[in-house]
Amino acid sequence: MSEEFDEKQRLEDQMRAVMDKYKYKRRQIRELQEDLGSMQNTLDTLTADEQALVEVITEKQAKATNLQKELDDQKVKKDRAAREASKIARAVRSAKKSSGELHEERDMDLRELREFNTRTMKQMGEVLHSHPDLGPSVQIYFSQAGLPMPPSPGPGASRPTSSRSSRSSGTLSSAR
C-alpha cells in the first residue's frame, strides 16, 4: 500500500504542478488579452487621428491648389495690364513727341515707391513690436542711415494692408 500511496502522492504532486502551470498560463493569457485590447484601442485611436490628419492635409492641399490657380490668374492679369500700360505710355509719348519718360510716369513711379516705403516701414514696425529686443539694433542702423524709426503698429495692425498698390507696383517699371 505504501507504493500506492507514494504513487498517489506523486500523481497529486504532478497534478498540483500541472494545475499551477495551468493557472499561470491562464493568467498570462488574460494579461496578454488585456494588453491586446489596450493596444487595439490605441491603434483605433491612432488610425482615427491619422484619418483626420489626412483629411486636413487633403483640404489644405486643395486650398493651396486653388490659391496657386488664383495667383497664376492674377499674374496673367498683371502681365496683361503691364502690357496695356506700356502700350498706352508709348502712345502718349508718341502723341507728345517725347522720347524719354513722361512726367506722369515719373509721378506714378514715385507714388509706388512711397507706398512701398510706407508698407515696408509698417511691416518693420510690426516686427519690432513683436520682437522688442531688436529695437536698439534697428535704432542704431536707422540713425546711421538718417532715417526715422518705424512706427509702432496701431490698434488695427492685424488687418492686412491694402493690396491695391502692391498689385499695381511694377506695372510701368516692368513694362519698360
pLDDT in tens, 128-139: 999 999 889 989
**155 band by pLDDT with thresholds 50, 70 and 90:** low
Q: Are residues 119 and 61 in the same domain?
A: no
How is residue 134 annotated by DSSP?
A: G
Q: Are residues 154 and 113 in the same domain?
A: yes
Q: Are residues 115 and 150 in the same domain?
A: yes
What is the count of structural domains for the chain?
2
Task: Tell me the residue range of the domain where 14 lies.
Answer: 1-74
C-alpha dist (Å) from residue 70 to 60, 66, 77, 103: 15, 6, 10, 34
Sign of the CA dihedral with 98 first, then 101, 103, and 108 last: positive
The Cα 68–Cα 77 span in angstroms is: 14
Residues in the chain, overall count: 176
Residue 142 domain flag: yes
Residue 173 domain flag: yes
Q: Are residues 8 and 54 in the same domain?
A: yes
- Which tens digits make up the pLDDT trace of 57-75? 999 999 999 999 999 999 9
Final residue belonging to a domain, choices 74, 93, 118: 74
